[in-house]
């Protein structure tokens, strides 16, 4: 998989990818009078960046072509599913700005799936198989060798109906039997070599309780769910391309259009069930460097305590991105820039960061904060001096208004804005050197107080003629630094996040290492500093730019006015590339 730096679309409003071309042609030729799409997550984990692309594709197409979009939970594997995930998925979809036309579950159709399976048996197209999982793999064959028929493939219709009914009644233990489609064990597509339709699992289901000891397989349930809901275009990722013939086989051979009696239970439950033949279309999934997006691996990170939870701001989950402060609009912009294609690629993490910066730069008010505080005293001002300095809340947008920031002779500056021995090109504060104190005037450092080899305090003078409105205010110096009044600033916690992994492709285990070994030990640093008074009382999830430091968000869980907590969403520029090449 190659790394791709995605160019900015010169006209992002004009979308003419191959999926939209197909839809326009289907509408123009009358294949469909209207479209209907769906987003079908499995509730076995939290949604991540890849799901965001799928959500924007399905719901975006729905909005563009005026078609409803269903949210349907693929809840056919209850052993791995949890209501917690269901609630989080609904919250995530709404956070991205969408509302579904109908909320559905694959479990709404369990009776339909069962009756449809009986129809396949009676039509001689399905059979009950007693092979265990290992034997099934042995009989399946390889990519170069055909499979062999199961010794149970030629059971009579009557025996198959009896056995499947007893499976349904819960007579057999887990794994004892499966129901398999009877297709072609010599097919070049292994998915068509008599795939399983049902397996026995005595597991309680979150919606149906213990009513079902058998559960349908994904390919079977997904295709029939689409047909039942009248989905016209079933949008999937490329790994399902080889499954499309099986998808079509189930739709064609169950043939709900000609057998409405199969979905009477759906109608009785009050669910509308428009029947159509859906069309599956595949496109590339979203892969981002410096992260993993396997639910299994993300679950491992959570369960092993390698992150603080599914909403850890370093995680690529939508909950994690939200807590980190990523605006939903940035994910929409990312989806537009990545686009829709048939080519898998690894998108550089900097593309995501660039989208975040672009949105936050336009939408975030500016404030002052000091993350690593160093005391600075202006000695030629009275100790009790206090004044207000007026700043624009956004340098590019006057609609954000202005604010007054209290100033006093004792202030905090960031420690990195001072150097005892400045390196060449260092344009900030040093002994006997002038810099501009943002909005105040020019200061010069005359004395440095140290203890145990560490700088504790700077003593400086302010040139009174350089203050705003004075004749010397326009005098040029190379450096400008920000500040927070020591008297008026509010103590705050800063969580400085970086990339979770230290290598661009942590999924690549060719050297015998696993993704766990590539975790970045510097992916989070917690600092104690100060913010200007107006930053402290903002509500949770308020996004700000702390000038010269980066874009931050008030933590949605821990932030309060009395104890501010800010998460760094992204730096002001791509410092990772500067540091790592």
d(CA 103, CA 207): 14
Q: Is 74 labeled as ligand-binding?
A: yes
Closest by Cα among 367, 390, 368, 42 to 221: 42
Q: Is 42 labeled as ligand-binding?
A: yes
Q: Is 50 labeled as ligand-binding?
A: yes
CA distances from 118 to 111, 128, 223, 244, 340 (A): 11, 11, 17, 23, 39
Query: Which residue among 36, 42, 81, 155 is the active-site one?
Result: 42
Which tokens hold the place of 460?
Answer: 């400086």
Residue 153 is a catalytic residue: no
CB 457 within 8 Å of CB 467:
no
Query: Can you give 455-512 as a three-state secondary structure string?
Result: EEEEEEEECHHHCCCCHHHHCCCCCEECCEECCCCEEEEEEEECCCECCCCCCCCCCC
Query: Which residue among 140, 180, 182, 295 is the active-site one?
Result: 295
Residue 322 is a catalytic residue: no
Which tokens hold the place of 37?
Answer: 């799409």
Q: Is 237 labeled as ligand-binding?
A: yes
Query: Can you give 291-304 as a three-state secondary structure string?
Result: CCCCHHHHHHHHHC
Residues 6+ apart with CB under 8 A from 503: 290, 518
d(CA 517, CA 506): 9
User: Which single residue is written with the structure tokens 């399983």?
Assistant: 196
Alpha carbon 21 to its chain centroid, in Å, reads: 27
Q: Is 286 labeled as ligand-binding?
A: yes
Closest by Cα among 556, 525, 100 to 319: 556
CA distances from 107 to 82, 112, 460 (A): 14, 10, 71
CB 213 within 8 Å of CB 266:
no
Beta bridge partners of 519: 501
CA atoms within 13 A on the CB side of 553: 23
Query: Which residue among 15, 80, 277, 285 is the active-site one?
Result: 285
User: Which single residue is written with the structure tokens 């100060």?
Assistant: 530
CB 75 within 8 Å of CB 110:
no
CA atoms within 13 A on the CB side of 69: 22
Q: Is 293 labeled as ligand-binding?
A: yes
Q: Is 49 labeled as ligand-binding?
A: yes
Residue 431 is a catalytic residue: no
Q: Is 44 labeled as ligand-binding?
A: yes
Q: Annotated binding site for ATP, which residues?
A: 42-44, 48-54, 237, 285-286, 293-295
Q: Annotated binding site for L-glutamine, which residues?
A: 74, 218
List active site positions: 42, 285, 295
Q: Annotated binding site, which residues?
A: 42-44, 48-54, 74, 218, 237, 285-286, 293-295
């Amino acid at each position: 998989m190659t790394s791709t730096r995605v160019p900015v679309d010169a006209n992002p409003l004009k979308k003419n990818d191959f999926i939209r071309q197909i839809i326009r042609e289907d509408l123009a030729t009358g294949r469909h009078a209207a479209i209907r799409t769906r987003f079908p997550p499995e509730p076995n984990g939290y949604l991540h960046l890849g799901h965001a692309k799928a959500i924007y594709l399905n719901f975006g197409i729905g909005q563009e072509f005026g078609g409803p979009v269903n949210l349907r939970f693929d809840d056919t594997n209850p052993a791995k599913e949890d209501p917690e995930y269901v609630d989080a998925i609904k919250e995530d979809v709404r956070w991205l700005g969408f509302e579904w036309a109908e909320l559905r579950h694959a479990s709404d159709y369990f009776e339909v799936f069962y009756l449809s399976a009986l129809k396949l048996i009676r039509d001689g197209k399905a059979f009950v198989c007693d092979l265990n999982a290992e034997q099934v793999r042995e009989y399946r064959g390889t990519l170069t060798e055909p499979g062999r028929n199961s010794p149970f493939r030629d059971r009579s219709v009557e025996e198959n109906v009896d056995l499947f009914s007893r499976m349904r009644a819960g007579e057999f233990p887990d794994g004892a039997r499966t129901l398999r489609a009877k297709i072609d064990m010599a097919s070049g597509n292994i998915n068509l070599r008599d795939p399983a339709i049902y397996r026995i699992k005595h597991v309680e289901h979150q919606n149906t309780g213990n009513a079902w000891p058998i559960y349908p397989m994904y390919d079977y349930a997904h295709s029939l769910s689409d047909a039942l809901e009248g989905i016209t275009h079933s949008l999937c990722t490329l790994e399902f391309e080889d499954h499309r013939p099986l998808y079509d086989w189930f739709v064609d051979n169950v043939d709900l259009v000609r057998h409405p009696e199969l979905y009477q239970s759906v109608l009785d439950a009050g669910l509308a069930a428009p029947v159509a033949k859906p069309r599956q279309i595949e496109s590339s999934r979203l892969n981002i460097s410096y992260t993993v997006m396997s639910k299994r691996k993300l679950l491992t990170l959570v369960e092993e305590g390698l992150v603080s939870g599914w909403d850890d701001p370093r995680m690529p989950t939508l909950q994690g991105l939200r807590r980190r402060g990523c605006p939903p609009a940035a994910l929409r912009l990312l989806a537009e820039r990545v686009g829709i294609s048939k080519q898998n690629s690894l998108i550089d993490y900097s593309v995501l960061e660039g989208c975040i910066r672009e949105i936050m730069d336009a939408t975030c008010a500016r404030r002052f904060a000091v993350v690593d505080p160093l005391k600075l005293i202006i000695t030629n001002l009275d100790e009790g001096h206090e004044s207000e300095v007026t700043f624009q809340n956004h340098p590019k947008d006057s609609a954000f208004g202005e604010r007054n920031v209290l100033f006093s002779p004792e202030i905090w500056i960031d420690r990195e804005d001072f150097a005892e021995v400045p390196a060449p090109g260092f344009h900030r504060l040093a002994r006997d050197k002038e810099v501009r104190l943002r909005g105040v005037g020019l200061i010069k450092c005359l004395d440095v107080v140290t203890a145990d080899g560490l700088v504790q305090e700077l003593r400086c003078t302010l040139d009174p003629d350089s203050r705003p409105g004075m004749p010397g205010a326009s005098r040029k110096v190379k450096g400008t630094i920000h500040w927070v009044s020591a008297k008026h600033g509010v103590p705050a916690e800063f969580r400085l996040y970086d990339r979770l992994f230290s290598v661009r492709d942590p999924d690549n285990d060719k050297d015998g290492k696993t993704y766990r070994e590539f975790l970045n030990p510097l992916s989070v640093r917690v600092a104690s500093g100060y913010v200007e008074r107006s930053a402290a009382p903002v509500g949770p999830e308020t996004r700000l730019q702390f000038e010269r430091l980066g874009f931050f968000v008030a933590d949605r869980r821990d932030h309060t006015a009395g104890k501010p907590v800010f998460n760094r969403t992204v730096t002001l520029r791509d410092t990772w590339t500067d540091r790592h090449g």
